[in-house]
Amino acid sequence: MSETIHTISLPSREGQGVGLLAHLIKAAVKALYGIEADDKQIQLQKTRPEFEGNITLVVFPFVKLARKAPAQVAEEIGRYLNEQIVNEKIVNGFNAVQGFLNMSIAPSFWIEQLEAIAADANYGQQPERNQLMMVEYSSPNTNKPLHLGHVRNNLLGSSIARIQEANGWKVVKTNIVNDRGIHICKSMLAWLRFGNGETPESSGKKGDHLIGDYYVRFDQEYRKEVKALVEKGMSEDDAKREAPLMKEAQAMLLKWEQGDKDVRDLWAKMNSWVYAGFDETYKMMGVSFDKIYYESNTYLEGKQEVERGLKEGLFYRREDGSVWADLTGDGLDEKLLLRSDGTSVYMTQDIGTAKLRYQDYPIDKMVYVVGNEQEYHFKVLSLLLDKLGFPFGKELVHFSYGMVELPNGKMKSREGTVVDADDLMAQMIADAKDISKDKVNTLPDVTEAEANEIARKVGLGALKYFILKVDPRKNMLFNPEESIDFNGNTGPFIQYTYARIQSVLRKAAARIDQPDLADSLNDKETALIQRLTDYPAAVKQAGDEFSPAVLCNYAYALAQEFNSFYHDYSILNEADEANRNLRLLLSAEVAKVLKHCMSLLGIEMPDRM
C-alpha cells in the first residue's frame, strides 16, 4: 500500500523516457498478460512507512485484462521483476498487499539516480514548451505605499512566474498601475490644500509614503466635513455626497479626464514621486516586471471598446448618461461601465488593458494574480471580453488568493492602519540580525557587511517563506515572530540546513565527484536520494496547481530528512573513503536542490549563517 501524495519521478535512460523501472514494469505485464501498457497505467508512488519497500506500483489498471485478483497480479509482477529480469536487477525484494506491489529497490539503482542528478545542471527544469504565459501581479494604486496585502500578491505572482518558467513556459511578468481615478485625486487635493509644497526631498520621506500620508489626511478632513453636515440635519448619505472635499475631488477627476494642464502636471509630478518609492520597495522585495501598463493609457482603449459595444447593442445607456452591461441573462447582474459624467471605472480600464496586451504579445495563457474579493470582477471581465468579440475572453485565469489578516483585524489604507511593506521588511531584517547575532559572531572573519547581508537574506527569506507556505487560496494570519524561528517549518530552518551543508563541503576540501562511491546505502541515505528524485514532480505539481506552497512543503521535507541523516551519520569523519565520498556527493545534491527550489520562491540562500 502507498501514499498518494505525489508520483515519483525517475530520471530516464536513453530510449526509456518513462524511466527504467517503468520500462521494466511494461516488459513484465507484457510477458505475463500480453498487455501493452501505456505511461498513464504505470502508477508509481512512494511506499507508505508502515510497509517495507521504497516504491509502490498500483496494479489495478492491469487487473481486468489479467483476469486475476489484484493481490495475485501484484504478486506475479513482483516475482517477475525480482526473478526474471536479471540484466537490469533493480527490484531485490517485494511484498504484495491487495492491489499494491511494494518494491525494495537495489542500492545500485539509487546510486545511479544520485549520479544522474549530479550530472544534470538543470535538474528540476522541465523542457521548453514554446508557449507564452503572461502573469499580472502587484497592481498598486499611486495614492499609497505598498502594504502587507501587496507583499503577498507580489510574492505569489513573482514565484508563480518563476515556477512556470521552470515548467517550460516563456513568461512575461506584467504590472498594471492604477494611476488615475478618484482615489488619486483625493491625495492630490489634500496635498494642494495642506501640503505647503512638501516634497520627498524636503520631508525626507519616500515618495509613496508622502503621498499615502495625504490620502489619509483627505479621509480625516472629509470625515470632519461629513460630521459637520450631519450635525446640521443632513442625512449621512447626503452628507457624504455633498461634502465640499468630495465634490472638489470629483471635479478634479473630471478635469483630469478632460486634459486640464494644471491637474495633469500635478498628477505627473506626484506620481513620479510614488514610482521612485515603488521601485525601492520592489528592489528590496526581489520582484521585477518585464512590462508595466498604466491605467492612464489603457482606460481610453477601454472607453472606445465600451462605446463600440454601445453602438452594437451589447450595452445600454441609462437616463443619467451612464453606460451599463446587462448580464442578468448570464446569471450575473448589471455592471456599470461608464459613469454619468463619462468617466471610466476599473472594468473599463481592464477591458482596454486586456486588448493592448494581446496586441503586444502572442499570449497563450493570461493569469491575473488578484485577491479573492475580486472573483466576481473577473467573471464579469471574461464575459464582457467574450461579448465584445475577443477570442481570449473565456481563457483568462484569475489566480484567486486569500487575504492576509492581522491579530487585530483587517487593514484599511485610508485610515492609516496598514502594515507598510517597507517597514515590515526592515523589521524582519532587524529581527533576523538580532536573533542570529550569536550565530554570526561564531563565524570566522565575518565582516559587518557580510553579517548585514546574511540578516537581509534570512529576514526576507523568513517573510517570503511564511507567506508562500500557506495554501494560496486560504486567508492567512501573519505572525512575524513565528516566521523567523530557526526551528520548524520556516525559511531560516531551510536556509540554515543549506549553510550547514556548505560548511561541510568547505571543510571537505576535496573533490566529491570522484568515481569511488560506496555500493551500499543505509535507510536514511536511500530516503534522501528518493526524496531528491521527487523534485521534478514537485516542480510540475507546483506549476499545474499554481501553488508555491507545494515547493515550500518539498523543501521543508528535504531539509528535515537531511538533518535526520546528518544527526545519525558522520560525513567528514567517516573512515570508509567510498562512504565519505557518497555522503559528500549526496550532501552537495541536497544543497543544489534546496537552492534551486528556494530560488523559485524568490528566497536567497546564505553560504554561512
User: What is the domain-level CATH number for residue 409?
Assistant: 3.40.50.620
In a domain, 110, yes or no: no
pTM over 0.75: yes
What does pLDDT average to over the chain? Answer: 90
Residue 423 lies in a domain: no
For residue 455, being part of any structural domain is answered with yes
Q: Between the ranges 34-43, 89-98, 145-154, 593-602, where is the mean pLDDT highest? A: 593-602
* Residue 473 shares a structural domain with residue 348: no
Q: Are 598 and 460 spatial neighbours (Cβ–Cβ below 8 Å)?
A: no
Do 188 and 304 share a domain, yes or no?
yes
User: What are the pLDDT digits (tens) for 515-573?
Assistant: 678 788 999 999 999 999 999 999 999 999 999 999 999 999 999 999 999 999 999 99
Does residue 125 belong to any structural domain of this protein? Answer: no
Beta bridge mates, 58: 43, 100
Q: Per the structure block, which three cell numbers stand in for 238? A: 447626503
Please tell me whether residues 274 and 225 are part of one structural domain: yes
- Residue numbers of the domain that contains 448: 437-599
Which 3 state secondary structure label does DSSP give 267?
helix
Q: Do 91 and 142 sit in the same domain of this protein?
A: no
Do 351 and 494 lie in one domain? The reply is no
Domain shared by 372 and 411, yes or no: yes
Same domain, 169 and 90: no
Stretch (H or E) spanning 401: strand 397-401
Compute the distance between CA of residue 8 and CA of residue 2 in angstroms, rounded to an integer: 12
Task: Count CA atoms within 13 Å of residue 165 on its CB side.
Answer: 17
Average pLDDT over residues 86-107: 86
- Residue 190 clears pLDDT 90, i.e. is over it: yes
**For the chain, what is the domain count?**
3
Q: Answer yes or no: is 70 within a domain.
A: yes
CB-based contacts of 515, cutoff 8 Å, min separation 6: none
Q: Is residue 576 part of a domain?
A: yes
| CATH number of residue 593's parent domain | 1.10.730.10
Among 415, 446, 476, give the residue marking a domain's end: 415
Q: What is the mean pLDDT of residues 277-285?
A: 97
Let me know if residue 23 belongs to a domain: yes
Q: Note whether 382 and 459 are same-domain residues.
A: no
Q: Is the domain of 445 the same as that of 377?
A: no
* Predicted pLDDT at 479: 77
Query: Across residues 347-368, what is the average pLDDT?
Result: 94
Neighbours of 98 (CB within 10 A): 12
Residue 154 has pLDDT above 70, yes or no: yes
- Looking at the structure, tell me whether residues 446 and 556 fall in a common domain: yes
Any idea what the CATH number is for the domain that residue 22 is in?
Answer: 3.30.1360.70
Side chain identity at residue 304, one-letter code: Q
pLDDT score at 416: 46
Domain identity same for 270 and 171: yes
Q: Does 155 share its domain with 242?
A: yes
- Residue 371 is assigned to a structural domain of this protein: yes
